[in-house]
Structure 1
């Protein structure tokens, strides 16, 4: 664990202790005496701190390969607080004389969440520990190296560009003044530049890659990454243009276990039943509104491609005219699409038109979270021009997904490429915790009505 993340964890311990003191002050109007922390009082404080730090580890707040946005951070902390309070409540249930009362615990958890968010947001943004930003040295000077350099600069305070290292037969696409060494003296260049990370960004490695020097750097504690892995870490998507099949095979992830599938299916069924029960009273109102707004059926059924490219029929509330594709065939929806009805525009923006897909989830054709299912006509077209497009069909499609919350509505081949980057990242890092994070992000997208057309 890096010094930065160790400092963040120590800060969380301080935040947890301070939160419990603040809760005591707010509840009783006075600070506890120092003697209260001996014996049972100290045990209570230690239990609270340990449970909250464990919860933070569970939601991966200290995982170094996660670059979190403020909303991602808030979502993870929210999950952490719910988990922490649940564990503390269980301990209180079995040991009521040992733990603080649940009123104090709840107040302590809420205050801790506020303190922790401010602490992590400041440290991750470089406001508290600007010196903890990692210095990145890029091996290469070609187009890929230039792209990685721009990525480092755009990453904010998380990384600092140390420069580029030139290699023989590698074209120069980077500023000449930023080249700080050559492949022959890589190890000396790393020490001189005090780099923390080397990003290998060579267009062609055969006969060029300085294996001995890179190995020396690796064994000296310098982190070595290839360009696709660094791109994934910083952006939350995959650089599919620079990925070959062996990268898929040997990289971590892309492994969905039977237990993970079972948990995911259980959550799908529970959420679909819960969502169906919640929305059931409103469905007749939506159905009547659609019938009064435009002639045609209330529900719209359309063939989509599901897991392992098996076709299924997706259900939605109808938002377009019944003759929307007459004379044109299958086409993507465009911005301000004239085929969308007046009510349909609202249903799309609010995502109410997606509610019938809960039935698809119950039937097992879809999951709550996953890549959005595409139409067969578009799938055949995209498979011909986009590498690895078929790989997105190795998991069930979802009502919402990582691409849906990170990228606006796609209506072109270029958009499909960008969304595929996010879909493959999701499949690589699939987990229940990741699904919960996407659901939190979806709530934000729905509330602000972003992305729909």
Structure 2
């Protein structure tokens, strides 16, 4: 008789075989799809059950009326859950408090539905059903996640963790894991990140716990990207001093606080939500943008002559290059003598009469064409030229993280600093934006950008 063992829930392929051949991507996709179907079924079931409980079989409206309303309401809930990151890949380990998060998102969905009903007067459901949907819907969605986690453990077995850090930190970590009775299997211990890939492969580890500070610079960005593709979770222990930074996304593993590391700061759902909100901004701002663009184009044509559009190669998302468009404010062949140089405060290359165009940022207006092409976004880190990018990546640790999202026409660094602010300080603003992104932050940046345009800050 042969014995079979459960396969760890981690891709154990070599980095060279990552990508579309990764067999664990389809498994994750199937699990997420199953959650989506289960959540939708829970919502529709709760809505119909609430009508049966309240009215029995003598319904005030027809079945088709309820069916259409319930399907629309359920779809709105699913949209809120998606943008609320309920369908992003969740870590295998760590205490997860799903109910508070699900309840908060359900409350947002119900408020959204109530707003739609008030505005359109369209019938979605009896008002008395809202409380039942809020309570039983939240419980049902939470139950689905608990059940999914149980199935995951049954299928792949207990998580197998690799401890990384100094001898004293590893010893303390092992004691915590043992004392807390945590359902983890410690499969290995190493002191150096250099051995990480080999140890994960040989020990078939599903997760990595970084127990010592100072390891982040060695694991970003490429090693972490490879581990993420292999479905290996990586967690950095939070030190007492780190709590002063106000880290929000912490999880408890064996009684110790950790934060899950991701190769790319914005999750897929948050990235899609950002794109959706920027489409709304574009619709609202379309007419003012067209008016300002036509005015600036006409003025520059009069002052500078025929060639008013300048194309510059810039570095975009994930390091890809594209041609960024600008209104030309400098003389032709301005860099023939100097080569690629940064703009100066009183740059002699700027055409007389166009300094205010540059100072008010109106020369950036053609970049809305780059936005429509999908090369840029309205708000994000400003794209740099390849020469400067290569220089900064060699000098400033973590500079490449700003390429996690499409570059923007404006950004937190632009409204917080000046043209000539040191790149390391600008990077701090860019990373702060990536970590703390929200629609409210984008709106604040837009408002501050309008203020910068009017006061003409350099």
Task: Sort the TM-score into its range (normalised by shorter chain).
Answer: 0.3 to 0.5
Normalising by structure 1, we get a TM-score of 0.45
State the TM-score, normalizing by the size of structure 2.
Answer: 0.44
